[in-house]
Structure 1
Amino acid sequence: MSESPNPEQGVGAAEHTHTMTGKRLAATVLFTDGQGRVLLCEPVYKQVWEAPGGAVEADESPRKAAAREVGEELGLEIEPGRLVAVDWVPPMDGRTESMVYVFDGGRLDPGRAESIRLPADELGSWEWCTIPQAHERMRPLVARRIEAALAAVETGTTVYLEAGYPVG
């Protein structure tokens, strides 16, 4: 009679994972208002606007990272809604490839929006923006991602993107 394989060794073991490359991970939250605009933030350290969110830390899920980042950046305690987009971003500008997860933050009512508090050392302002305004203020790839994610929210779907472009 043979022994059952140890799940930590042998069959199904992950010894090969140490040779795999790591991808950077980020998570953002898409908030909308009653007019279908999206909440964008103006960082103090760069020229382009962003959606609330940021890097996923070690041993943190993208969803938890999204909630943490919204708390840090907007002062809002939230439970992100469903995943609406995943975007593979190729290596560029000296950065390695990454995966960006976009979660639905839902409609933010005016009272809740008034409670937003920005960290002065990170964000200068926030604003409700139309998709054309997003394209004016954001890097093209990021604006495409926001536009595709908003469409996914409106249609109840989830979209896979590469460099902000829907695939499949």
Structure 2
Amino acid sequence: MAGKLPRKNVASGALIRDTRGRILFVVPTYKPFLEIPGGLTEDDESPLAACRREVDEELGIRIEVTKLLLIDWMPTQGVWRDSVQLIFDGGVLTDEQVDTIRLGHGEIGNVEFLSPEECAPHLRPSMARRVKLAHDALSNDMPVYAEFGRQV
């Protein structure tokens, strides 16, 4: 029975800001668009634990990842099956914390901080919608539910 149940990928990321309110994005070496820090969960790993692990692996920093901002269902795209994408609040980094960022592996070439208003052209359209919804949710007490980056 369990082998016949549907499966979904789960990914989680962190919306991290600097003291000027800009959002931290990673510059992947293997694709043309910016991303927020994060990635797929591993077997028996919670989305929150995956988010913390990915931030540590990609940026070399440990941050207090706190409240859930966004749950977004993504339809199947190419080789990727449908998935659930979560964005957590990664807090605000001080200038001193920004200076301690050390890129952890060859998948990340750099980091960039962009204002919420200027980031959309640098992101895949679905990620731009997702980041906007997550940023807007910072002031709410409830996470936002979306499908393909569109609030439902």
TM-score over 0.5 for the pair: yes
Q: Secondary structure at 1:27's aligned position in 2?
A: strand
Residue 51 of structure 2 corresponds to 66
Q: Calculate the aligned-residue CA RMSD, in Å.
A: 1.2
What runs of 5+ residues in structure 1 fail to find an aligned partner?
1-15
* Match among 93, 103, 121 for residue 78 of structure 2: 93
Distance 1:93 1:165 in 2: 20
TM-score (norm 1): 0.86
Count of matched residue pairs: 152
1:109-149 Cα offsets, whole Å, 9 max, x none, are 11101100113511111111122332111100011101100
1:14-70 Cα offsets, whole Å, 9 max, x none, are xx4321111011010010122222100100111111000001000000000000000
Question: Which structure would you say has the larger RCO, counting Cα contacts within 8 Å and 6 or more residues apart?
Answer: 2
Residue 24 of structure 2 corresponds to 39
Q: How far off its partner does 1:74 sit?
A: 0.3
What runs of 5+ residues in structure 2 fail to find an aligned partner?
none
Q: Once the two structures are aligned, what percentage of the paired residues are identical?
A: 38
Q: Which moved more, 1:37-46 or 1:113-122?
A: 113-122
Distance 2:40 2:148 in 1: 17
After TM superposition, list the pairs within 5 Å mapping 1:74-85 onto structure 2: 74-85=59-70
Residue 113 of structure 1 corresponds to 98
Distance 1:46 1:127 in 2: 15
Q: Flag as ranges the 4+ runs of structure 1 deviating above 4 A.
A: none
Distance 1:150 1:73 in 2: 21
Residue 102 of structure 1 corresponds to 87
